[in-house]
Structure 1
Amino acid sequence: MKVITTLEKFDQGIWGYHFPISQEVTEQMSSENHKRVICQVNGVVTMHSALVPLNDASYIMVNKSNRKKLGINLGESVELILEKDTSEYGLPMPESLMVLLDQDEVGSKYFHELTPGKQRSLIYLVSKVKSIDKQINKGLAILEHLRDVQGRLDGKLLNEKIKHYNQNRNHI
C-alpha cells in the first residue's frame, strides 16, 4: 500500500520523529492482534515497524539514523510503501542468533517465553552488530543471561553480561 505522509515530531516525551498514518490506512494495515508493518521510505530505507495507535489513526516512529539516510527534515513529504509484517518476530532474525537458539534448549525456552517486544529488543541488539563473530558473542551473552535469571530479563544485568563477553572475546 502506497502512502504519502510527512515527517513530524511530538513536542514532548521521549519519542519524537514519526510518520502519521491515517485512520483508513491504519484500519487496512492492522488488526487488534497485528500492528506490525514493513515500511519502505522513499525507496531508500526499509524498516520493520509498529503502527502505534494514536486516537483512531496511528504513526510510525523513525530514528535519527534512518532520517539521516533519507536526508529528510521536519515537515517534508515522504512516500511509504507499507506491507503487513507476517514474520515470526516482527524483525529479521539474524542467522547467528537462530543457530544459537537451536543449540541452546533452555536459553531458547526462556527467549520464546518473553513478550514479542522483548524478543524484538534482543533480536535488534544482535542484528545491529555487523560482524558475525560479534553477533555470536552478543547472542551467547544474551542466552547465558536468560539462563542465569530464569528468563526474567534484567537490562542492567544483561548489559554487564554483554560487557563481560566483550572483554573476554574467547567465548566463540
Structure 2
Amino acid sequence: MNPLTLKTTILKFESELWSYYVPIPKKIGNSFIDGDNRRVKCTINSGEPIYSALMHKGDVYSIYMKKEFLKKNKLSEGDEVRVTLEKDNTEYGMPVPESFQVLMDQDDEGVKFFKQLTMGKQRSLIHIVGKVKNVDSQLAKGLAIMHHLKEAKGELAFKRLNVLIKEYNNRR
C-alpha cells in the first residue's frame, strides 16, 4: 500500500501515559489494517516517524503522542498538521537499532528467548535500547537485555533488568 497523506488536528485527552493524539478517519484507518495488524509508520509534518498501532477512539482511529514528542517537534494542541501514514512492515513493529541487531545476530540463545516474548514486550525492549543515541549506551543496554533473558530463561522482570542495565552501564 502506498503512503497516504492527510491534514488533521492535534487533540488532547487525559491519560497518565498519553496526552495527545491525531484522529484518523475510520475509512482511511481501515485501509491500513490487515487482520490483527494495525501497525503504521506515521510522519507528522515531515518530522521523525512514530511507529504505532491505529487505536480506536470513538468513531475514528488515533495515533497517540507523548508531550515530549510535541515539545521536540514544536507542536501544540490545536495545531493543524500534515500526517503521512504508511503500513509498518518492520519485523517488530518498529525499527531495531543497528547496535541491537548486531547483538541479536550473534546471540542465538538470547534471540530465542526474545522471540518468545509478546510483540509488545519485544517493542519495549527495542525502545529501551533505541531511546539513547549513544551507540556505547545502546550496546550496554542490549548486552544487559540479552544477559537478563538468558539468565531468566525468557521471563522478563523489568526491576532485575534495570539493575543489570545499570551494572552494564557502569562497566563502560
The TM-score, its normalising length taken from structure 1, stands at: 0.91
SS in 1 for 2:31: helix
Change (3 A) 1:134 1:11: closer
Aligned to 1:17: 20
Given that 1:145 and 1:161 are in contact with CA atoms closer than 8 Å, whether structure 2 keeps it comes out as yes
Deviations 1:93-152 (A, max 9, x none): 111111111211111100011111111111111111112111111100000011111111
Q: What is the alpha-carbon distance in structure 1 between the residues aligned to residue 34 and residue 167 of structure 2?
A: 42
Q: What is the alpha-carbon distance in structure 1 between the residues aligned to residue 26 and residue 146 of structure 2?
A: 40
Q: How far has the Cα of 1:76 moved from its partner?
A: 1.5
Given that 2:23 and 2:61 are in contact with CA atoms closer than 8 Å, whether structure 1 keeps it comes out as yes
For structure 1, which segment, 9-18 or 85-94, has the greater mean C-alpha deviation from structure 2 after superposition? 9-18
Given that 2:45 and 2:82 are in contact with CA atoms closer than 8 Å, whether structure 1 keeps it comes out as yes
Given that 2:18 and 2:66 are in contact with CA atoms closer than 8 Å, whether structure 1 keeps it comes out as no
Aligned to 1:46: 49
Aligned to 1:123: 126
Given that 1:29 and 1:84 are in contact with CA atoms closer than 8 Å, whether structure 2 keeps it comes out as yes
Equivalent positions of 1:1-172 (< 5 A) are 1-169=4-172
SS in 1 for 2:49: strand
Please list every run of 5 or more consecutive structure 1 residues that lacks an aligned counterpart in the other structure. none
Given that 2:40 and 2:87 are in contact with CA atoms closer than 8 Å, whether structure 1 keeps it comes out as yes
Q: What is the alpha-carbon distance in structure 2 between the residues aligned to residue 89 and residue 45 of structure 1?
A: 18
> Which AA in structure 2 matches 1:85?
D
Deviations 1:26-46 (A, max 9, x none): 111113321111111011232
SS in 2 for 1:45: coil
RMSD over aligned Cα atoms = 1.4
Percentage identity across aligned positions? 43
Q: How far has the Cα of 1:14 moved from its partner?
A: 3.4
Please list every run of 5 or more consecutive structure 2 residues that lacks an aligned counterpart in the other structure. none
Change (3 A) 1:16 1:126: same
Size of the aligned set, in residue pairs, is: 169
The TM-score, its normalising length taken from structure 2, stands at: 0.91
Q: How far has the Cα of 1:57 moved from its partner?
A: 2.5
